[in-house]
Structure 1
């Protein structure tokens, strides 16, 4: 989800709710403690230099169980970050501490914002020697009449 999309959605909501992919909700007393831009400048295993930039939201749970972040307040925080930090439209990445700090993509299911699990991947599979997907073979199609090149006691095994 892009920053421009969340800005369009927020005015239509009564409450801001974040849900994990497993169906669990971020406790309703969460805070958005940071809105910013994160830039990653790196080289992949194939030697290609890459730059990634995302708009970052950090969610945090405090002990103030009466806290509720309203859509208008989050929209104000976003607009302030655009004004003060020069944040441009971009993909949103959410940091949220579950068992450790996780990074999530953000989607909207029509009612809640969903924290989508992120995965890693090799960006240079051809240079890394990662084989193409292996063809799937049914065991029933293998010949049962193949003879071994080794015989018992031949010393080849």
Structure 2
């Protein structure tokens, strides 16, 4: 989700809820402790120089059980960050504490903001000699067809 999308959604919702990938929710008393611009300059394993710019939100829950972040307050935090930091309309990454700091993508299901799983990937597969791997469903289908009566023989 891009910054412009969350701003539009915040105009229409009455509450700000974040649902984790496992279906549980970030506690209602969470705080947004950071809204920022994250710039990554790096070289991938194939030697290509890359630059990524993104928006970052950090969620945190404390013992402040009466705290409830309202949509207008989050809009104001975003607006201040845009003015002060010069934030662009970038993809949002959300940090939230698990066993360590977890990083998520962001989506909206019509009611709740949904923290989505992010994965690592090789950005230079052609330079590394990595061949495309089969999707998990393809592997499962192959395994199931080669069982007795599966029709593969």
Range class of TM-score, shorter chain? 0.7 to 0.9
Q: What are the superposed Cα offsets for residues 61-112 of structure 1, whole Å, 9 maximum, x if unpaired?
A: 1111110000000000000111111111111010111121011100000000
Q: What are the superposed Cα offsets for residues 28-75 of structure 1, whole Å, 9 maximum, x if unpaired?
A: 000000001000100011111110111000001111111000000000
Shift of 1:141: 5.4
What is the CA RMSD across the aligned residues, in angstroms?
1.7
Aligned to 1:148: none
Q: How many residues are aligned here?
A: 142
Given the alignment of the two structures, is residue 31 of structure 1 paired with residue 8 of structure 2, yes or no? no
Aligned to 1:15: 15
Shift of 1:132: 3.1
Distance in 2 separating the partners of 1:25 and 1:132: 35
Q: Give the TM-score taking structure 2 as reference length.
A: 0.87
Aligned to 2:123: 123
Aligned to 1:108: 108
Aligned to 2:84: 84
Given the alignment of the two structures, is residue 44 of structure 1 paired with residue 44 of structure 2, yes or no? yes
| 1:15–1:132 CA distance, 2 compared to 1 (3 A) | closer
Aligned with 2:11: secondary structure? helix
Distance in 1 separating the partners of 2:67 and 2:31: 8
Distance in 2 separating the partners of 1:131 and 1:83: 45
Aligned to 2:59: 59
Distance in 2 separating the partners of 1:84 and 1:35: 11
Aligned to 2:96: 96
